[in-house]
Amino acid sequence: MIDFILKEWLLIVSGLGFVLSSVYTMHLPVYSITELQVLFILFTLFIAVNGLQNSGFISKFSHLIENGKAIPFNLVVTTFFLSMLVTNDVALVVIVPLTLALNINRKDILVIFEALAANAGAALTPFGNPQNLFIYWFYNLHPVIFIKTIAPFSLVFLSILINWSFIVKTKSTVNNLPKSQKVNDSAYAYGILLLIVLLSILHVLPIAVGLLVILYALLFDRKALLVDYALLCSFFFFFGLADNMKILLASKIRDSSHVFLLSALTSQIISNVPTTLLFAKFTSNWEALLWGVNVGGFGSLFGSLANLIAYKMYVTHDNTGNAAMFTAKFLIIGYAAFFLAIALYFMLHAL
């Protein structure tokens, strides 16, 4: 029981928050189509990545990375640019399992840096994360103006993360690297299925094609269905909690003059996506809102769904330990980036 509580505290806290906020507000949360789609996409992504891991592909690829140079740099930069194209959540679903498969030390720091890189990279494009897409459409923005507005945030943190990635030194945790396991034929199928899911995220294919991933796993590889259902349930509770929090906070917001700070701080509690939906009703200052919700992705575990994904994947992995220490490091580094980003905003707008 103690081990379950330590590993699944996120599920317990989100579940309690869901129940208590529902009782307090006398309101059953309403789930949007977008939120249900996010849950479905995450489920299919987890299956595809799990299948690739079972096939030996991730082990094979991680073996190639171990034999290369500048491992932290390669992982951080890849996460940053991948998140620009396929969202921060998807980038971490792909990169974090790859990182955890490496036979190196400092994997905790690498996962934290990858979470920061995913949030910073996704902020740069209108489709890098859900809040950006909403702001882009809601305020009818030109893509060049959008990117120009948020570019200082993304590029400054890319520079910081690159410099830190060279400072962090990793070394092998084994004397002789073991031979990577043989890749079986299912890797090709899961590679195609993963590509199909990514294309559905980019709106090239309909979301429903994700059913192919579930169908393949049911017919040929049921082990791939053994994904982190506790994390999916946490997201379900978290979306409901966020909907209840919107009711509590809506009556508190009267003035949009401090929308940047308020949106950044509110994101620490209810995540940056529902914060965006809430604040858009009260302000026409989209620049401050864009900065606020993206800066709000740093800091707490609840700042963005990407943080929850990276955190949960690390603490539930078989070859990681000391969840309390990882949590402390995640929050310390995350909040250092959070306050640095706030300082950057005010410095730029004071010029």
- pLDDT score recorded for residue 212: 95
| Cα 227–Cα 229–Cα 231 angle in degrees, nearest 5 | 105
With respect to residue 132, please indicate whether it lies within any of the assigned structural domains.
yes
Is 88 within 8 Å of 309 (Cβ atoms)?
no
Pick the closest to residue 164 from 227, 207, 110 (CA basis). 110
Residues of the chain with pLDDT under 50: 177
* Structural domain containing residue 120: 57-181+228-350
With respect to residue 104, please indicate whether it lies within any of the assigned structural domains.
yes
104: helix, coil or strand? strand
Residue 86 to residues 27, 96, 295: CA-CA distances in angstroms?
34, 15, 19
Q: Which value, to the nearest 10 degrees, does the dihedral of the CA atoms of residues 71, 77, 83, 89 take?
A: 30
With respect to residue 43, please indicate whether it lies within any of the assigned structural domains.
no
Is 106 within 8 Å of 75 (Cβ atoms)?
no
With respect to residue 202, please indicate whether it lies within any of the assigned structural domains.
no
> Which tens digit of pLDDT belongs to each residue from 279-308?
876 778 899 999 999 999 999 988 888 898
For residue 137 the two structure tokens come to 């459409």
- pLDDT score recorded for residue 65: 67
Number of folded domains in the chain? 1
Residue 130 to residues 137, 157, 188, 262: CA-CA distances in angstroms?
11, 20, 30, 19
With respect to residue 134, please indicate whether it lies within any of the assigned structural domains.
yes
Rounded Cα distance between 137 and 129, Å, is 13
> Which tens digit of pLDDT belongs to each residue from 25-65?
888 888 878 778 878 888 888 898 888 878 877 767 666 66
- pLDDT score recorded for residue 68: 64
Rounded Cα distance between 81 and 325, Å, is 29
Name the packing angle between helices 259-270 and 323-350 (round to 10°): 170
Residue 137 to residues 29, 118, 252: CA-CA distances in angstroms?
25, 22, 26
With respect to residue 239, please indicate whether it lies within any of the assigned structural domains.
yes
With respect to residue 201, please indicate whether it lies within any of the assigned structural domains.
no
Rounded Cα distance between 47 and 74, Å, is 25
Helix (H) or strand (E) holding 317: none
DSSP string covering 11-58, please?
A: HHHHHHHHHHHHHHHT------HHHHHHHHHHHHHHHHHHHHHHHTHH
Beta bridge partners of 172: 104
Q: Name the H helices within the chain.
A: 2-7, 9-25, 33-55, 57-66, 71-86, 88-100, 107-122, 130-138, 143-167, 186-201, 211-220, 229-250, 259-270, 272-279, 286-295, 305-315, 323-350
Pick the closest to residue 87 from 9, 171, 249, 202 (CA basis). 202
For residue 105 the two structure tokens come to 């030390």
With respect to residue 223, please indicate whether it lies within any of the assigned structural domains.
no
